[in-house]
A and B are shown apart, each in its own frame.
Chain A
Amino acid sequence: MKKNMTFHKKKVWVVLLGCMLLMVGLMGRLVYLMCFRSDYYYEKAKELHERERDIKAARGEILDAKGRVLASNRTVCTISVIHSQIKEPEKVIALLSEKLEMDEAEVRKRVEKISSIERVKTNVEKSTGDEIRESNLAGVKVDEDYRRYYPLGSLASKVIGFTGGDNQGIIGLEVKYEDILKGKPGKILTTTDARGVEIDKLGEAREDPTDGKTLMISLDANIQKFAQQAALKVMEEKQAERVSILLMNPQNGEIYACVNVPEFDLNDPFALTDDLKIQSRIRTAGKTDTERKQELLNQMWRNPCLNDTYEPGSTFKIITMAAGLEAGVVSPKDRFYCPGYKVVEDRRIHCAKRTGHGSQNFVEGAQNSCNPVFIEVGLRLGTDRYYKYFRQFGLLDKTGADLPGEAKTIMHQMKNMGEVELATVSFGQSFQITPVQLAATVSSLINGGRRVTPHFGVAVLNSDRTEGEKLIFPVKDGIVSEKTSGEIRKILETVVSQGSGKNAKIEGYAIGGKTATSQTLPRSANRYISSFLGFAPADDPQVLGLCIIHDPKGIYYGGTIAAPVIRSIFENILPYLGIEKSNTLDPVVEGN
């Protein structure tokens, strides 16, 4: 037996001391990790444990001028299964395949898939979702969700627009007012274990969603509906490619109706309209069917009143008239002679009436829509002045209408504008503007010279429909004088009462207006755009309407086919808007 000697004891002490030192070192390490680095790791762990679930905010409604709902939400359900919580898989499969009208094999695949949560079907009707919830099967989850719903279907489809899968606006007002409509989603924060199963005893932190605000617009569903019917009627009668009608308040820029037929169904925006379906069957080289379809969809969703430009033709003579009167280069009594053409530089520019209008004063020239008269006015102004007024009237800028994708005016550069270009511009050719630009500009010229911003948005309402905030759009005063504005109104009234716009005449109302017929490019195709711009009452315009018919067959004169459309609309909406008939008109400017 060996003795336990002192050096042995000393060595044990050394070992023990060494161990103690190491342990003190580890304690130091722990203090560092748990006191000084604690926040960092705590946050990291929290990120790991917490699952964030969004609670969708209800998107704000869109109401028309009378408070009628144009865009709303419908509650739909999303059905999911949580694999780890399912107790009776066969029952779940049977119930879901029955209620959701899904293939059993498909449901089985979802139910038997080992995942934390598996979505079975989205956009399920609320009633179906409720039935599934009431069956109370463990592991089946029914989440409610909002889906955009448009009660009036295709009405004003290109104006209102629609939303995508995440309820974000895709086109139209839904995009423009996204920030107002979308609201702020809420959050549910839950703590879960590593498999993603929520830990019930810890509860959940909740941040409630803020619902989107309601947007009230100036569009009136009744007016829109009537205008849409009128547009459809003329489109059918004239076998036109498409028809656009724009009705607005020239005093403040509020748009009452913006029709572009054919419209599309807002509740099914990815279905092509019939005529586009035919086109989609035509294969285009170098494009897949999906690309082709997307192209056609984009075309279908366009709002031609705003997204496309066209050659306005004779309706633009109103602008030339305004510039000439404002500059003082012409007065209503000035006399002109029309031989049926006018020679500008080396070109002979024809009048619509090849035989000529003969001798006429300026007002008669307007009534006859005589090209040489307006070419003469344009030439009297000269390029610089004409361009100055073009800019002053706001034609070079976008109108600022509250819809996305407004197209820019396509105009000659001033330095490239010779006499020939000036002459053609004077009667509305060789450049392009949007219909809404024309309507807004004429509105501003006849309302006393206030450049208004055409718009739909009127007010943002709180979700209980109490008024929140009025939307204000810019107005620029003094683009023409009050006097010029009055003269324009009077001349245009005679165009309807005595001239080419006589088809827009309504007994008891003073209507102002201007017709236009323009040939589209290429001129050889013999395709026309017929249009009519009218307003009433002529002495104090409350409503301005623009009807544009693209590619009508048969008779294509604006005065013949477009003016009656505006007349039928005015006949109905003037009383509707509370505009009384009056027989005591101011005496109009006499032609002779």
Chain B
Amino acid sequence: MTRKKAADFSKTDITMLVLVIGLAVFGLAVLLSTSEYNGRVRFGDSACYFKKQLFATALGMGVMYLVSSIDYHFFLKLGPVAYLISMFLSGAVLLVGQEINGSRRWLNLGPLSFQPSEFAKVAVILFLAWQIEHTKKATKGLGFMCRTMLTLLPIVGLVGSNNLSTAIIILGIGGILVFASNPGYLEFVGLGSAGVGFIAIFLAAESYRLERLAIWRNPEKYEKGFQTIQGLYAIGSGGIFGRGFGNSLQKLGFVPEAQNDMIFSIICEEMGVAGAIFLIFMFAMLLWRLGVAAMHAKDLAGALICCGIMGHLAIQVILNIAVVTNTIPNTGITLPFISYGGTSVVFLLGEMGLAMNVGKCDRMI
């Protein structure tokens, strides 16, 4: 038993583990610095946000360990159930959710609050992997694509009704999984163009979305560009090596909710372009390890799970940084492991555990 466990551990992808722990610790440190001011001003406790996040990270680490030691096929089987539960929770949050900053996204469970949309992402990865694994027909052609994406529509609708960004992430994860399981390329060009067309119509349908575009082009001219412009001030004033850890000025109430979506701008301000690129490099390394795990997976389900996790991580990192640097119009997406958010970090670490298990099973053969 002990021998088996030791062997188990030895098969863990150490690089991935180091990267995950490194990112989590880095995230906590940055959060401590970034949330210090808001915590002090709002709650009279500089470490207020940090403590909560520390608890969530510790919990997440436990979850990661637990998940990594259970065969992922167990979770794969739970995929459809998880999907149904996530739909239920996403529905419930619309009715009884707690409203924070004008969004109804949290479910209160005693002292803890829970964000169903974070769970929905994992559920979608597992459900799609299960669905593709169990489909009898060939996983190719336009029909397969449409069928698979259609099964996502209920959750996209539920989540998207109050959290557009997460709906986009879920769609993105679905798109990547379908892409990975389908041998063709050409239809994806079609899918891509369809997506672009859809976005264009979606934007044009409501004038406030067009306004968002206008703000993106010229954030200094609009009142609503405030967050964006404050983020840019933070990034730009970082220079090459930054103001030094803990010395950000923009976090002092200038960047609103600095510990959330805009946290990357404070990293830039404190650590400069060097620190920012180092962080992106860490993410890239982790994505690479997830990709490797997907490629070495012994079956398609394992590969799809790792690919889905990789897609999830990649989409959030890329979209978050793109928003913060005003490369794309503003939409609220958190930076994995770094932004404040307990549910997010617990599920992310759980996902990492899942990917590690996929990697381990591969080596068990």
Contact = CB atoms under 8 A, between A and B. Distances in A.
Interface stretch (B1-9, B119-127, B316-324): B316-324
A19 B276 contact: no
A12 B314 contact: no
B301 to A, nearest CB: 7
A37 B220 CA distance: 15
Contacts of B235: 30, 33-34, 41
A45 B249 CA distance: 9
Nearest to B235: A33
A138 to B, nearest CB: 16
Contacts of A525: none
Interface in A6-27: 7-9, 11-16, 19-20, 22-23, 26-27
Interface string B307-342: 100110010011001100101000000000000000
Contact of B236 (A15, A22, A42, A191): A42
A1 B297 contact: no
B240 A16 contact: no
Given A16-B287, A16-B291, A48-B254, A5 B240 contact: no
B299 A35 contact: no
A41 B236 contact: yes
A57 B272 CA distance: 41
Interface in B272-291: 272-273, 276-277, 280, 283-284, 287-288, 291
B221 to A, nearest CB: 14
Interface stretch (A193-201, A246-254, A477-485, A568-576): A193-201
A44 interface: yes
A355 interface: no
A27 B277 CA distance: 6
A589 interface: no
A4 interface: yes
B299 to A, nearest CB: 5
A48 B233 contact: yes
A435 B181 CA distance: 105
B297 to A, nearest CB: 5
Nearest to B183: A7
Interface in B235-289: 235-240, 249-250, 252-254, 268, 272-273, 276-277, 280, 283-284, 287-288
A29 B325 contact: yes
A238 interface: no
Contacts of B58: none
Among A2, A12, A14, A35, find the residue whose CB has the most chain B CB atoms closer than 10 A: A12
A3 interface: yes
A31 interface: yes
Contacts of A45: 233-234, 236-237, 249-250, 254
B306 to A, nearest CB: 8
A15 B239 contact: no
A194 B253 contact: yes
Contact of A16 (B233, B238, B288): B288
A7 B300 CA distance: 11
Interface string A25-62: 01101110111011011101110110000000000000
B37 A193 contact: yes
Interface residues of A, number: 41
Interface residues of chain B: helix, strand, loop or mixed (majority)? helix
A4 B303 contact: yes
A27 B287 contact: no
A8 B311 contact: no
Contacts of A1: 133, 299-301
B236 A4 contact: no
Given A15-B176, A34-B273, A48-B254, A8 B233 contact: no
B283 A26 contact: no
Contact of A30 (B183, B291, B318, B325): B325
B295 A193 contact: no
Nearest to A40: B236
Interface size class of B (residues with CB under 8 A): 35 or more
Contacts of B182: 11
A199 B252 contact: yes
Contacts of A12: 180, 291, 294-295, 303, 306-307, 310
Given A11-B179, A20-B284, A3 B252 contact: no
B232 interface: yes
B189 to A, nearest CB: 13
Given A1-B133, A15-B179, A34 B310 contact: no
A4 B327 contact: no
Contacts of B322: 26, 29
Given A8-B181, A29-B327, A34-B268, A42 B239 contact: yes
B302 interface: yes
A408 B236 CA distance: 61
Contacts of A26: 280, 318, 321-322, 325, 327
A12 B297 CA distance: 12
Contact of B318 (A14, A23, A191, A195): A23
A166 to B, nearest CB: 31
Contact of A41 (B237, B303, B310): B237
A23 B278 CA distance: 12
A35 to B, nearest CB: 6
Interface centre among A2, A27, A34, A199 (most CB of B within 10 A): A34
Nearest to B274: A34
A29 B181 CA distance: 32
A195 to B, nearest CB: 6
Contact of A34 (B238, B250, B297, B327): B238
B248 to A, nearest CB: 10
A19 B321 contact: no
Contacts of B299: 1-4
B133 A38 contact: no
B298 interface: yes
Nearest to A14: B179
B273 A30 contact: yes
A28 to B, nearest CB: 10
B179 A9 contact: no
B275 to A, nearest CB: 10
A193 B253 CA distance: 6
Given A31-B273, A33-B236, A191-B249, A2 B325 contact: no
A41 B233 contact: yes
A4 B298 contact: yes
A2 B133 CA distance: 6
25 contacts: A4-B297, A4-B302, A11-B183, A11-B307, A12-B294, A12-B307, A13-B291, A15-B180, A15-B314, A19-B314, A20-B284, A23-B318, A26-B280, A26-B318, A31-B273, A31-B277, A33-B235, A34-B235, A34-B240, A34-B273, A191-B249, A193-B37, A193-B249, A193-B252, A193-B254
Q: Which A-B residue pairs are the 9 nearest by beta carbons?
A: A41-B236, A194-B253, A193-B252, A2-B300, A16-B291, A34-B273, A45-B233, A19-B314, A45-B237
Given A15-B307, A26-B327, A191-B249, 15 more contacts: A2-B133, A3-B300, A11-B181, A12-B310, A13-B295, A16-B288, A23-B284, A31-B273, A41-B232, A42-B237, A45-B233, A49-B249, A193-B254, A194-B254, A195-B253
Interface of A: 1-5, 7-9, 11-16, 19-20, 22-23, 26-27, 29-31, 33-35, 37-38, 40-42, 44-46, 48-49, 191, 193-195, 199
